Amino acid sequence: MRQSLIDPEELAFETLPTLPDNHRLGAWAAIHFPDHTPSGKPIARGPVMTAIGERLAVVESREAVVIVGEHLERYYSNPAIRYIEIGVAPVETALVRRRVDRRRAIQDLEECSRDVAAGLVDTAEG
Protein backbone atom coordinates (compact mmCIF):
# COMPACT_ATOMS: atom_id res chain seq x y z
CA MET A 1 0.00 0.00 0.00
CA ARG A 2 1.42 3.41 -1.00
CA GLN A 3 1.48 6.03 1.67
CA SER A 4 -0.32 9.23 0.67
CA LEU A 5 0.07 11.34 3.82
CA ILE A 6 2.88 11.35 6.35
CA ASP A 7 2.89 12.57 9.91
CA PRO A 8 5.33 15.48 10.30
CA GLU A 9 6.81 13.65 13.30
CA GLU A 10 8.29 11.13 10.84
CA LEU A 11 10.71 13.83 9.71
CA ALA A 12 12.71 13.03 12.88
CA PHE A 13 13.88 9.90 11.02
CA GLU A 14 14.99 11.83 7.92
CA THR A 15 17.68 14.28 6.85
CA LEU A 16 16.77 17.69 5.40
CA PRO A 17 19.14 19.95 3.46
CA THR A 18 20.04 23.28 5.03
CA LEU A 19 20.31 26.85 3.80
CA PRO A 20 23.48 28.93 3.94
CA ASP A 21 23.92 30.74 7.27
CA ASN A 22 23.49 34.13 5.58
CA HIS A 23 20.00 33.40 4.16
CA ARG A 24 17.26 35.93 4.91
CA LEU A 25 14.18 33.81 4.27
CA GLY A 26 12.70 33.88 7.79
CA ALA A 27 9.31 32.21 8.07
CA TRP A 28 9.56 30.57 4.64
CA ALA A 29 12.79 28.85 5.65
CA ALA A 30 11.30 27.73 8.96
CA ILE A 31 8.55 25.93 7.04
CA HIS A 32 10.70 24.41 4.29
CA PHE A 33 13.88 23.74 6.31
CA PRO A 34 12.70 22.96 9.85
CA ASP A 35 15.25 21.77 12.39
CA HIS A 36 12.70 20.00 14.58
CA THR A 37 9.29 18.31 14.32
CA PRO A 38 6.14 19.92 15.76
CA SER A 39 6.71 18.03 19.05
CA GLY A 40 10.35 19.19 19.22
CA LYS A 41 12.21 16.09 17.97
CA PRO A 42 15.38 17.13 16.10
CA ILE A 43 15.63 16.66 12.32
CA ALA A 44 19.07 15.75 10.95
CA ARG A 45 20.73 18.51 8.92
CA GLY A 46 22.04 17.66 5.48
CA PRO A 47 24.07 19.46 2.85
CA VAL A 48 23.77 23.22 2.30
CA MET A 49 21.54 23.98 -0.70
CA THR A 50 20.29 27.10 -2.43
CA ALA A 51 18.63 26.00 -5.69
CA ILE A 52 15.67 23.68 -6.13
CA GLY A 53 17.65 21.59 -8.61
CA GLU A 54 20.24 20.88 -5.93
CA ARG A 55 17.56 19.89 -3.44
CA LEU A 56 15.90 17.51 -5.89
CA ALA A 57 19.30 15.99 -6.72
CA VAL A 58 19.88 15.07 -3.06
CA VAL A 59 16.44 13.47 -2.97
CA GLU A 60 17.22 11.43 -6.07
CA SER A 61 20.56 10.37 -4.58
CA ARG A 62 18.80 9.41 -1.31
CA GLU A 63 20.92 11.81 0.77
CA ALA A 64 17.92 13.76 2.06
CA VAL A 65 14.24 14.54 1.73
CA VAL A 66 12.95 18.05 1.01
CA ILE A 67 9.83 20.01 1.82
CA VAL A 68 8.41 21.80 -1.22
CA GLY A 69 5.19 23.47 -2.27
CA GLU A 70 2.50 21.24 -3.75
CA HIS A 71 2.82 22.86 -7.19
CA LEU A 72 6.42 21.68 -7.61
CA GLU A 73 5.39 18.19 -8.71
CA ARG A 74 3.89 19.68 -11.88
CA TYR A 75 7.10 21.47 -12.82
CA TYR A 76 9.71 19.00 -11.60
CA SER A 77 8.24 15.57 -12.20
CA ASN A 78 10.84 12.83 -12.05
CA PRO A 79 10.12 9.09 -11.97
CA ALA A 80 12.87 8.67 -9.34
CA ILE A 81 11.19 11.14 -6.94
CA ARG A 82 7.94 10.61 -5.08
CA TYR A 83 5.95 13.55 -3.73
CA ILE A 84 4.02 12.80 -0.51
CA GLU A 85 1.75 15.20 1.34
CA ILE A 86 2.76 16.09 4.89
CA GLY A 87 -0.02 16.34 7.46
CA VAL A 88 0.41 20.02 8.29
CA ALA A 89 -1.82 23.03 7.76
CA PRO A 90 -1.54 24.67 4.32
CA VAL A 91 0.86 27.58 4.05
CA GLU A 92 -0.74 30.92 3.28
CA THR A 93 0.65 32.82 0.29
CA ALA A 94 0.29 36.50 -0.46
CA LEU A 95 1.01 38.85 -3.34
CA VAL A 96 3.06 41.80 -2.16
CA ARG A 97 3.57 44.92 -4.27
CA ARG A 98 4.49 48.56 -3.82
CA ARG A 99 1.39 50.73 -3.47
CA VAL A 100 2.66 53.18 -6.05
CA ASP A 101 3.31 50.49 -8.67
CA ARG A 102 0.37 50.84 -11.05
CA ARG A 103 1.76 48.99 -14.06
CA ARG A 104 -0.94 47.11 -15.97
CA ALA A 105 0.86 43.75 -15.54
CA ILE A 106 0.93 44.21 -11.75
CA GLN A 107 -2.75 45.17 -11.70
CA ASP A 108 -3.61 42.10 -13.80
CA LEU A 109 -1.60 39.86 -11.48
CA GLU A 110 -3.35 41.33 -8.45
CA GLU A 111 -6.77 40.82 -10.05
CA CYS A 112 -5.92 37.24 -10.98
CA SER A 113 -4.64 36.56 -7.45
CA ARG A 114 -7.86 37.85 -5.96
CA ASP A 115 -9.89 35.63 -8.34
CA VAL A 116 -7.84 32.57 -7.35
CA ALA A 117 -8.24 33.38 -3.65
CA ALA A 118 -11.99 33.80 -4.10
CA GLY A 119 -12.22 30.44 -5.88
CA LEU A 120 -13.28 32.02 -9.17
CA VAL A 121 -10.37 30.39 -11.03
CA ASP A 122 -9.71 26.63 -11.08
CA THR A 123 -5.97 26.38 -10.39
CA ALA A 124 -5.98 22.65 -11.19
CA GLU A 125 -6.37 23.44 -14.88
CA GLY A 126 -3.09 23.08 -16.79
Phi, psi of 11 (to 5 degrees): -65, -20
pTM score, whole prediction: 0.68
Q: How many residues does the chain have?
A: 126
What is the structure's pLDDT at 1? 42
117-126: long-range contacts at Cβ-Cβ below 8 A with a sequence spacing of 24 or more?
Answer: none
What is the structure's pLDDT at 27? 80
pLDDT band per the 50, 70, 90 thresholds, residue 124: low
37-53 mean pLDDT: 92
59-113 confidence digits (pLDDT tens): 999 999 999 888 888 888 889 999 998 888 777 777 888 889 889 999 999 898 8
pLDDT of 117 over the 90 cut? no
What is the structure's pLDDT at 126? 47
Residue 109 makes CB contacts below 8 A (sequence gap 6+) with 95
6-39 confidence digits (pLDDT tens): 899 999 999 999 988 888 778 878 888 899 999 9
The answer to whether the CB of 43 falls within 8 A of the CB of 32 is no
Phi, psi of 123 (to 5 degrees): -75, -10
